[in-house]
Structure 1
Amino acid sequence: MDLKTYRYVVEKIDGDYAMLRNMEEADAAAEPKMVARALLPAEIREGTKLLYEYLQYSVIE
């Protein structure tokens, strides 16, 4: 099983969901990913950078 690592930035928080933008995608027109806030660290804010690996999100920097 090949588990990849991704880096995201929280672009927008909308109620129980956060919109995440992949920091490694060069295409600015790429669709943001909608993720339930229950799956994210509680301390996130707009602009927070996240690391996704081993099926978990964690705050970086």
Structure 2
Amino acid sequence: MTVTINRNKCGYCGACVAVCSTLALELKEVRIEVDEGLCNHCSFCKKVCPVGAIEVKR
């Protein structure tokens, strides 16, 4: 499974970072970084993204 963030859509609001219970997402300057080793693929980040920039692929 992978988490992909569409950088063209992402507004870097940090909503996904705020809901990540495993701290797999981090807002760095003007990008969101995903630590796949920490991610449990719960898809909460995708659900809260106001612009639909996150895709969780199985």
Question: TM-score, structure 1 length as denominator?
Answer: 0.27
Tell me: higher relative CO, structure 1 or 2? Use CA pairs within 8 A at least 6 residues apart: 2
Which of the two has higher C-alpha Rg? Answer: 1
Instruction: Judging by fraction of residues, say which structure has more helix.
Output: 2
